[in-house]
Amino acid sequence: MPTRTSPILFFLFFACAWIVSAVVVVVEVVNLNARFARQTAAIERDMPEDGKTENPRARFTSALHYWRVRSSVWEDDPLLIKGQAIRMFNNSYNSLSRSQTPNSFNTANRPSPSPKCFGKNTHVLKEEYEREKVRWQAKLDEAEQKLNEAAINNSELFQIKAELNRKIIDFEKNQRPLIEQNRRLNERIRVLTGESKTLEQKLCYSQDDFLSLRDAFDRLTKENSTLKEQRAFPEKLEELSRYRSQVLDYSKCITACRQSILEKDRRYDLLVQKFKKYRKCLLSKRNGIDSEDDRQSCVGSEEGSLDSSSLTGLDTIAEDLDEDNSIEFVDLENSNKMTTALERAQKLKEDKEQLELLKTKLEKDLANSQEHNDLLEFQLVELTEGSQRRNIEFFDKQCATEIELVVEDIDQSELEIKTRASVAPDFISQTRGMLHSMLCKSALFGRKDREGLRCGIEVIDSLQNVSANIILSRATYLCRKISHIKMI
């Protein structure tokens, strides 16, 4: 790229230089014209009125001579225009030729008359005229030489311009395939951007589908894990659910007992208050202070603390107070009620304590059963790992035997699996059912006996699971062995 763009830069540099030089020349010419016009106007402004004429040529020559006499600017200015200088000399020469006589050129020192200026006759010597002519001719030659040099430079610049234009055309021809290729690439990029946008939209949709599928997969895995647990240990889960239901029932019973105890306490307090009121009324009756106000005060004080049934009872008691014979019977009845209420409250407290003890025992039993279940699960995991390890070692040892012995072992193992599948599960289930029935009928057994039966049932469950895992591992081992034999 640098070698291709260097001629263009070269052409631009020369074009700029040529334009700058042309602008400089035009500016100089304009400045000279303006300067000459200003000087002429200044000279005419300084001239007297008698020297001014209407003829523009005479006016110009007179102004020029006046300017030469006054300020000598003519000799010091080297940049006068060619046409103006020629017209000035022609006018001055014509004026001299018209004003002179034919015999005036014979004398060398005789001044030649010039046009009238400022009302007087001015004369210029021939030698001075010749010197001025030679000087201006040299200046004109120098200006022509400079113009020729400028024309030569201009022609060279035009040649360089044409060459650069030709190179630019060649460069454009060479760059056309690249431009076309760039256009095709831009079109392809536009198409690819559209495809990328469509793919991004599809990716967003696929991500949404993936998230929904992942949520469904997580939900299904959780359900599968719960189903596996139920399938692996259904009886334990049932027992655990039964324990939970029992705990809930006990908690409900405890709350009901607490509420009943509170109700009994409240009733006991009410009965005590009633008894105190009755004693007070009896004392007042025995002392002879039997007034309606006392009875109403006794009854009114009880209205705020008793319900509708107690109010009706108090009304009947207030009516019975008028009868002296029924007072002792009421006292005995109240004392009996108090004793029965106290006994009931005591029984309820004892029942509450027993329920709390039973609750603590059940919680301890539940914790022990959970620990025992964890221990059995750990033992089951160890047994399964040991059986798998033994199966793997046995498989590694038997891989080196012959094919016939392997087939016999397969037959024997299949027979063993069939016998275990036909005999062992029934026997285990029967024994487990017997133990479970004994545990259900263990109301007369002690706590240790019940725990022993429960542990026996759990051990049978664990053994059943272990036997199932052993059978499964044996079957997988046989399948691997058969596949290995087929590969051999």
How many of the other CB atoms lie within 10 Å of CB of 449? 13
Confidence class for position 215, pLDDT limits 50, 70, 90: very high
Kindly indicate the confidence band of residue 213, based on its pLDDT and cuts at 50, 70 and 90. Answer: very high
Tell me the two tokens of residue 376: 């059995």
Mean pLDDT over 204-217 rounds to 91
Cα–Cα distances in angstroms (integers) from residue 284 to residues 264, 277, 278, 287, 311, in the given order: 30, 11, 10, 5, 21
126-164: string of b/e by CB count within 10 Å (b at 16+)? beeeeebeeebeeeeeebeeeeeeeeeeeeebeebeeeb
Over range 156-184, report the average pLDDT: 87
Structure tokens at 427: 């026997």
What is the per-residue DSSP string for 144-166? HHHHHHHHHHHHHHHHHHHHHHH
Local structure of residue 291 (DSSP, 8 states): -
Helix axes 308-320, 292-303, angle to 10 degrees: 160
Structure tokens that stand for 252 in this block: 């409900």
Cβ contact 391:477 at 8 Å: yes
* pTM listed for this prediction: 0.21
Which residue has tokens 């402004």?
A: 45
What stretch of H or E contains 23?
Answer: helix 2-46
Residues near 480 by Cβ (< 8 Å), separated by ≥ 6?
395
What is the residue-averaged pLDDT of the chain? 68
Write the burial class of residue 466 (CB in 10 Å: 0-12 exposed, 13-18 middle, 19+ buried): middle
Cβ neighbors of 64 (< 8 A, separation 6 or more) are: 43, 74, 88
Mean pLDDT within 71-94: 44
Structure token digits, residue 296: 């109403």
Among 47-51, 166-170, 294-298, the range of highest mean pLDDT: 166-170
Four-point Cα dihedral 349, 352, 358, 363, nearest 10:
-130
Average pLDDT over residues 381-410: 61
Contact by Cβ (8 Å): 425, 407:
no
Q: Are 126 and 108 in contact (CB under 8 A)?
A: yes
Geometric angle at alpha carbon 484, from 483 and 485, rounded to 5°: 90
pLDDT at residue 321 is higher than 50: no
In terms of Cβ atoms closer than 10 Å to its own Cβ (0-12, 13-18, 19+), residue 391 is middle
Tokens representing 88? Answer: 């000035």
Q: Is the pLDDT of residue 105 over 70?
A: no
pLDDT of residue 118: 44
Judged by DSSP in three states, 170 sits in helix
Cα distance between residue 424 and residue 468, in whole Å: 10
**pLDDT above 80 for 319:** no
Residue 239 has pLDDT above 70, yes or no: yes
Q: Read off the pLDDT of each residue in 391-415 and give the average, rounded to a whole number.
A: 55
Beta strands 112-117; 120-124: pairing state: antiparallel
Residue pair 4/150 in contact (Cβ under 8 Å)? The answer is: no
Q: Which residue has the tokens 């008691």?
A: 317
Q: Tell me what pLDDT residue 254 has.
A: 85
pLDDT band at 111; cut points 50, 70, 90: very low
Torsion of CA 369, 375, 379, 384, to 10 degrees: 80
| Structure confidence at residue 405 (pLDDT) | 54
Amino acid symbol at 438: M
- 432 or 157, higher pLDDT: 157
Amino acid 310: pLDDT: 44
User: What pLDDT score was predicted for residue 176?
Assistant: 86
For residues 470-485, average pLDDT: 65
Most confident of 87-91, 338-342, 395-399: 338-342
**How far is the C-alpha of 476 from the C-alpha of 60, rounded, in Å?**
133
Q: What's the rounded Cα separation, in Å, for the pair 61 and 122?
A: 12
pLDDT, one tens digit per residue, over 360-379 is: 777 777 777 777 777 777 77
Per-residue confidence (pLDDT) for residue 40, from 0 to 100:
66
CA 73 to chain centre: 85
Residue 451 is which amino acid?
Answer: E
The domain locations on the chain are: 2-101+110-174, 237-365, 383-487
